[in-house]
Chains A and B, each alone.
With several copies, the nearest count.
Chain A
């Protein structure tokens, strides 16, 4: 089928989803022990979106993300230890601990970056696509954002301009049914949100967000179009948030049965099932084990890393005064 991921791509996506899941679990556990700082937004159960949507991008392509970006970071090839250390505020973190988990950026990997202002990643990627058009290169910009972010006005201003100017940008909606604690049915009048993109004449697709292959195919088509100069595309990925909004969520508003239903559709298991028959189970087990070990090693190293000293990162011009 057109735009299908190769078997290698599929294994890599499987591996990366495991990296993300284990990372989320590790931080969930640390948080319960009181060893993390600030809220952490886990994406357990949604890994297929971030990992598969970014799988066909090069390091030259740009990605912008949200407060819930771990799968996006890993998908875009950002170093796992660098992410873990940043989340832990270590000086070895990708941003030296200045950014924290919601704002990770790695320019070399085209990940610029996480964003904790809901909706802000959308014009950000659109501006990068504008830059690509002005420079005449063939880079594509992508932004992954939530159903909640789709209610912001800046979403619309951005999509309008992208469609008008045929900018090379791909919009990936990670629809997990919740904007913080409010169900999407109480944030907007329609179930699908991509109809709004269609109103600008932007090609849209709706896919099962827990099926990495489906996400990959739909997004790859849009990326190709964008790279060919045919303008923006929009993919709505339907998924669900297993964990609370963040580690500080007090819960009580998600239905346990719905969570249980969705857990039956674990994106990692779906990816694995698609591979079995093509690749031996034992080989896939090795992939999994190695991924798990990689997370453990990254976490252990990050936890042992030093916190930054303020002097290393005091800052002057254009900040007119520091301390």
Chain B
């Protein structure tokens, strides 16, 4: 099995799908000649040409709208939006266009496009380049939202997303690109959208995490283990649709739940998971579901400030302990 960087795993997935299906094309800012600012599309313009791998002007609003209708008319566009912080510019196309057409037009169209972006803090990139705006896109009916953490999931979910007949918002994290993991390149490796992944099994408390927070949750589980607390870490992986069965099974076992997401708390993604757990597992819960998120404020630039606001293993462990009373 090959050991790939997360960025390489994504690059592999793009190459595999572009080779398989000539209707797949990539566009976005700096993705061509330069290969993407995180080098995810490295080498693909050379390989597939300038029509199928296209550098674009800085026009996120139109680009997203164009992905929607290109997808409606025979192609499978993969659009890169450089930072999740720019998703607000994509939102009219997602909410007022992509979200509605299949239903409103009585299933006359489908929109097999993928919007890749990356969010999150920890790189000193400041308030306009460090946000996880998962809730904005997860709120939109008709979209699927995934956020892989391992290189293997990154490849498998990206391939599945490109083949899916419906829109997929594909959330990466700037601090994951250089992480490494095993990827079985012999295997097609598709991963079904809608299924969570159990990272660590445990019996005392369930920690449901997304994106890079899964890594923090794993570290938290180690911290908790030292206290004799057995934490089950679940990578939600598919933010929408949600794997409700996996959530229920886990909480039935542990009776305690912590939700971790790097977005803001109020009306954030963690709120949905918290409410859903309460609805599905009310009788199983021995304590309120805890949320660990970015506090409701901008991400500051300076290292000690940014460190103080980002959710991390210590905060997750503390929340788990508090939940256990």
Contact = CB atoms under 8 A, between A and B. Distances in A.
B103 to A, nearest CB: 5
B195 to A, nearest CB: 14
B266 A307 contact: no
Given A135-B75, A161-B56, A116 B241 contact: no
B58 A149 contact: yes
Nearest to A180: B30
Given A38-B123, A181-B34, A307 B303 contact: yes
A151 B305 contact: no
Nearest to B307: A310
Contact of B66 (A105, A126, A148, A319): A126
Contact of B30 (A132, A182, A309): A182
Contacts of A107: 105, 108-109
A120 B67 contact: no
A89 B301 contact: yes
Interface stretch (A50-58, A70-78, A96-104, A228-236): A96-104
A319 B296 contact: yes
Interface in B53-84: 54-59, 61-63, 65-75, 77
Interface residues of B, number: 77
A190 interface: no
Interface string A81-106: 00000000111011111111011011
Given A180-B29, A323-B308, A187 B124 contact: no
A319 B297 CA distance: 6
Given A89-B302, A97-B300, A128 B73 contact: yes
A306 to B, nearest CB: 10
Contacts of B295: 319, 321-323
B61 A157 contact: yes
A252 B75 CA distance: 31
Nearest to B68: A127
A96 B105 CA distance: 8
Contact of A308 (B70, B265, B304): B304
Given A119-B58, A123-B65, A135-B23, A320 B242 contact: yes
B305 A98 contact: yes
A157 B34 CA distance: 22
A323 B179 CA distance: 28
B301 A99 contact: yes
Given A99-B126, A134-B23, A180-B29, 5 more contacts: A90-B302, A99-B104, A158-B66, A317-B241, A320-B296
Interface of A: 37-39, 62, 64, 89-91, 93-100, 102-103, 105-107, 112-113, 115-120, 122-128, 130-135, 148-149, 151-154, 157-158, 160-161, 164-165, 179-182, 186-188, 250, 252-253, 307-310, 313, 315, 317-323
23 contacts: A38-B125, A96-B302, A97-B301, A117-B97, A123-B65, A124-B65, A127-B69, A131-B71, A131-B72, A134-B25, A135-B75, A157-B61, A161-B62, A179-B57, A179-B58, A182-B29, A250-B39, A310-B304, A310-B308, A313-B103, A319-B297, A322-B296, A323-B295
